[in-house]
Amino acid sequence: MTTPQRLDNASPVIAATSAAERFGVIARPDLTFTPAIARETEHLYERVKQFIPAFEWPVYAPYVHAINRIKKERGAVILAHNYQTPDIFHCVADIVGDSLQLARDATKVDSEIIIQCGVHFMAETSKLLNPEKTVLIPDGKAGCSLSESITGADVRLLKQRYPGVPVVTYVNTSADVKAETDICCTSSNVLAVIESLDSDTVLCIPDEYLAMNVAKQTKKKILTWKGHCEVHERFTAAELLAYKEADPTIEIIGHPECHPDVIAVCDFAGSTSGMINYVKDKRPARVLLVTECSMASNIQAEIKDVDFIKPCNLCPHMKRITLPKILDSLLFMTEEVLVDPAIAGRARLAVERMVNLKQ
Ligand code: SF4
């Protein structure tokens, strides 16, 4: 019997029964590519044919078909982040978006089972907002360099050092860290969250570059931490300027987890949703998205009149989620995400304050 996976870094919590015991397991289906499967997945292949060669579709299609069928049988919903691969994003996900959208949509989900295709802090956030639901992540080792840069004990020390200074924590953190926090933020609402606080000084943790970028937009003093996203910290201003030099018509759109020197040479900076909306509204002829490279593929499938330049920085954690692992999640009800009740209430409050913030 599978033991539910613990994903916070506080004391362990084991559910009285595993998700497999509560919901039962389903035998692995036959994954042969048949003419019936070809027919029933044809419309889905249309969405991803730019990225998956026709000769590879017979490998993907049986998984896509089985996941969509078993998802219905289980009454489960699949949430997928913008950085998931196009096969997941376009063929099996029910709800897609950035961290804030997924956190908000997680509160509106009717299904008893949520499969989170993203990294584990996202699954924890879904569990915090849906404590009565069963939240599964297809690979519990899908971590995040930002989330792992800080612990709840670190935040307690910061609070001792800066008494009375409110703590704004990026959602890319464990529940243990969120529990020590006044309010969470995402890259799309960080400025609004900071401006909502009645204090001239704010601790904005753990992403140093996000904090440095938002510090340029507010009069408040911003204190931070030395956490970085291992994907976005790799971009350099020199690399982007070389693209501009080669083609001055390229529009460069950056994510605020990049270093401020990188953001300084971008035509626009915003969260993944902000970047998507910018491309949809402005329709630049050529665009370079300074972020995880699956996102460009995911919007390219919808926006055919824009030429996407993709400096391919992949997030190794996001890429741990695959179709075979999603299928296993649905069959065997693994890996269940649990949050210690001792911290869940406080962590939930920090997320809810952000979700309920009027913007
Ligand atoms: S892209 Fe960066 S912030 Fe997002 S999960 Fe990967 S390491 Fe974390």
Domain-located, residue 114: yes
Domain that residue 225 falls in: 147-230+351-355
C-alpha to C-alpha distance for 288 and 269, rounded to whole angstroms: 12
Place of tokens 């019997």: 1
Could you list the residues known to form a binding site for iminosuccinate, using ranges.
81, 99, 170-172, 187, 255-257, 272
Instruction: Judge if 28 and 84 occupy the same domain.
Output: yes
Supply angle C-alpha 108, 22, 326, rounded to 5.
60
**CA 228 – ligand 1 centroid, Å:** 9
**CA 79 – ligand 1 centroid, Å:** 17
Ligand 1 touching residue 230 (CB < 6 A)? yes
Ligand 1 touching residue 317 (CB < 6 A)? yes
- Residue 188: per-residue pLDDT: 87
Instruction: Judge if 139 and 152 occupy the same domain.
Output: no
Ligand 1 touching residue 231 (CB < 6 A)? yes
The stretch 82-111 carries a mean pLDDT of 88
Torsion of CA 114, 118, 122, 123, to 10 degrees: 40
Instruction: Judge if 50 and 116 occupy the same domain.
Output: yes
**Is residue 359 pLDDT above 70, yes or no?**
no
Domain-located, residue 38: yes
Using alpha carbons, select from 357, 259, 326, 355 the residue that is nearest to residue 79.
326
- Residue 65: per-residue pLDDT: 98
Q: How many domains does the chain have?
A: 3
Domain-located, residue 343: no
**Is residue 12 pLDDT above 70, yes or no?**
no
Instruction: Judge if 97 and 200 occupy the same domain.
Output: no
Domain-located, residue 344: no
Per-residue pLDDT of 245-256, as tens digits, reads: 999 999 999 999
Ligand 1 touching residue 292 (CB < 6 A)? yes
Instruction: Judge if 215 and 271 occupy the same domain.
Output: no
Instruction: Judge if 105 and 219 occupy the same domain.
Output: no
Give the pair of three-digit tokens for residue 203: 């601790």
Domain-located, residue 346: no
Could you list the residues known to form a binding site for [4Fe-4S] cluster, using ranges.
144, 229, 315
Q: Where are the alpha helices (DSSP H) in 174-317?
A: 175-178, 190-195, 208-215, 237-246, 260-264, 272-282, 293-300
Using alpha carbons, select from 117, 123, 111, 15 the residue that is nearest to residue 323.
117
Look up the CATH number of the domain holding residue 207. Answer: 3.40.50.10800
Domain-located, residue 261: yes
**Is residue 321 pLDDT above 90, yes or no?**
yes
Ligand 1 touching residue 174 (CB < 6 A)? no
Give 336's strand partners.
Answer: 136
Instruction: Judge if 45 and 96 occupy the same domain.
Output: yes
Residue from 259, 271, 292 whose mutation best tests the ligand 1 pocket (most atoms within 8 A of CB): 292
Name the least confident of 105-114, 233-242, 258-267, 268-277. 105-114
Instruction: Judge if 23 and 105 occupy the same domain.
Output: yes
C-alpha to C-alpha distance for 296 and 292, rounded to whole angstroms: 8
Q: 95: how many CB neighbours lie within 10 A of its CB?
A: 17
117 backbone dihedrals φ, ψ, rounded to 5°: -95, 95
Domain-located, residue 342: no
Q: Tell me what the pLDDT averaged over the chain comes to.
A: 92
- Residue 1: per-residue pLDDT: 37
**Ligand 1: which residue has its CA nearest to atom 8?**
144
Domain-located, residue 224: yes
Instruction: Judge if 42 and 129 occupy the same domain.
Output: yes
Ligand 1 touching residue 186 (CB < 6 A)? no
**CA 89 – ligand 1 centroid, Å:** 17
Instruction: Judge if 25 and 124 occupy the same domain.
Output: yes
Per-residue pLDDT of 27-75, as tens digits, reads: 999 999 999 999 999 999 999 999 999 999 999 999 999 999 999 999 9
**Ligand 1: which residue has its CA nearest to atom 5?**
144
Instruction: Judge if 44 and 61 occupy the same domain.
Output: yes
Instruction: Judge if 158 and 243 occupy the same domain.
Output: no
CA distances from 109 to 29, 58, 66, 93, 272 (A): 27, 32, 22, 13, 22
Confidence of residue 14 (pLDDT cuts 50, 70, 90): low
**CA 202 – ligand 1 centroid, Å:** 23
Place of tokens 């001239």: 200
Which atom of ligand 1 sits closest to the CA of residue 315? 6
Residues in the chain: 359
